Amino acid sequence: MFDIASVDCTESTAPAEFVRSMHETGFAVLRNHPIDPALIDRLYKEWAAFFASESKMDHLFSPETQDGYFPFRSENAKDSPIKDLKEFYHVYPNRPLPAGVKEATEAMYAALTQLGADLLGWLQQHTPDAVKAKFSVALPDMMVGSTQSLFRVLHYPPLADGFEPGAVRAAAHEDINLITLLVTGSEPGLQAKDTAGNWHDVPCDAGMIAVNGGDMLKEASGGYFPATTHRVVNPPPEHNVSRYSMPMFLHPRPDVRLSDAYTAGEYLDQRLREIGLKK
Ligand SMILES: O=C(O)CCC(=O)C(=O)O
Ligand SMILES: [Fe+2]
């Protein structure tokens, strides 16, 4: 049974239901959450204009700081030889942003950081004591003072004629970080894999926020919270349109100890090399 909860954040049962779903499936979907729908709409409009403009090339990413614009086909999933069919922009705090998106993007970054801290509080509260004992500090405290969280704005363009066989919008992968808050895509396509290897559509209507656990949460919890494999499938030929989505990857401070084997900083460096974003 792979039951991704659709959690109404205003219900008293929300925290426990959220944590059950994160344990059993690695995913949960939030309704009635505190992120302003008008801000979500504004962001999608402003970023669509950015990706449609030639001036996006003036904002090419910096290999050192990893912020900025990553052109079409920059990234491959770990162990995948084929680049994904996407372009994206990486937002980090205290880095310049294109003028047309700056204000709303900074507001969204702050709002998702706050929501993420609240959700980590829910996880901390409803994790069994034996698992909690593994955390070097409480989960929300891992984020205090962190400037590492990454807000990624993704554009998957319509598929071009004759695109490389086997290429997909986003190949199967796990996220690296603690938890991801995904301001849901403008189009369907996100799927999560259960432990038997079956793929399930992640239910995300417009305005919902999908949450999933990453490798760092799995590492810190000794596997109690899985880092569920997910992917974005290509659209059917009769509906070949752009898709936008906006994941916020919550990253602890680099000095935070995840496990006996790794600090968060050591863990991140290793994974960025594997996905071709760092040399
Ligand atoms: O576009 C999506 O819905 C998911 C993107 C994703 O999984 C990622 O960027 O890690
Ligand atoms: Fe992902």
SS (H, E, C) the chain: CCCCEEEECCCCCHHHHHHHHHHHCCEEEEECCCCCHHHHHHHHHHHHHHHHCHHHHHHECCCCCCCEEECCCCCCCCCCCCCCCCEEEEECCCCCCCCCCHHHHHHHHHHHHHHHHHHHHHHHHHCCHHHHCCCCCCHHHHHCCCCCCEEEEEEECCCCCCCCCCCCCEEEECCCCCEEEEECCCCCCEEEECCCCCEEECCCCCCCEEEEECHHHHHHCCCCCCCCCEEECCCCHHHCCCEEEEEEEECCCCCCECCCCCEHHHHHHHHHHHCCCCC
Using pLDDT thresholds of 50, 70 and 90, give the confidence band for residue 51: very high
Nearest ligand for residue 187 CA: 1
How much is the average pLDDT of 170-180? Answer: 95
| pLDDT at residue 279 greater than cutoff 70 | no
| pLDDT at residue 277 greater than cutoff 70 | no
Residue 255 has a pLDDT of 97
Query: Ligand 1 pocket test: which of 76, 154, 181 has the largest number of ligand atoms within 8 Å of its C-beta?
Result: 154
Nearest ligand for residue 170 CA: 1
* Ligand 1 mean position, distance from CA 132 (Å): 28
Q: Which residue has the higher pLDDT, 94 or 138?
A: 138
Given the CA of residue 202, which atom of ligand 1 is nearest to it?
3
Q: Does domain 41-189+218-274 have CATH number 3.90.1150.10?
A: no
| Spatial separation of the C-alpha atoms in residues 28 and 34, rounded to whole Å | 16
How much is the average pLDDT of 174-187? Answer: 91
* Ligand 1 mean position, distance from CA 267 (Å): 20
How much is the average pLDDT of 178-182? Answer: 98
| pLDDT at residue 242 greater than cutoff 70 | yes
Give the residue from 199, 212, 182 showing the smallest Cα distance to 22.
212
Residue 33 has a pLDDT of 97
Enumerate the domain spans of the chain: 1-33, 41-189+218-274
Given the CA of residue 152, which atom of ligand 1 is nearest to it?
9
| pLDDT at residue 162 greater than cutoff 80 | no
What are the tens digits of pLDDT across the range 189-204? 999 999 999 999 998 7
| pLDDT at residue 183 greater than cutoff 80 | yes
What are the tens digits of pLDDT across the range 68-107? 999 987 767 677 778 888 999 999 999 999 999 999 999 9
- Identify residue 229 by its one-letter amino acid code: T
The percentage of the chain sitting over the pLDDT mark of 70, rounded to a whole number, equals 97
How much is the average pLDDT of 217-240? Answer: 96
Residue 63 has a pLDDT of 86
Residue 103 has a pLDDT of 98
How much is the average pLDDT of 170-179? Answer: 94
How much is the average pLDDT of 51-66? Answer: 93
Residue 134 has a pLDDT of 96
- Pair 140, 33: CB distance under 8 Å: no
Residue 169 has a pLDDT of 92
How confident is the prediction for the chain on average, in pLDDT? 93
Q: Which residue has the higher pLDDT, 165 or 79?
A: 165
| Spatial separation of the C-alpha atoms in residues 173 and 274, rounded to whole Å | 12
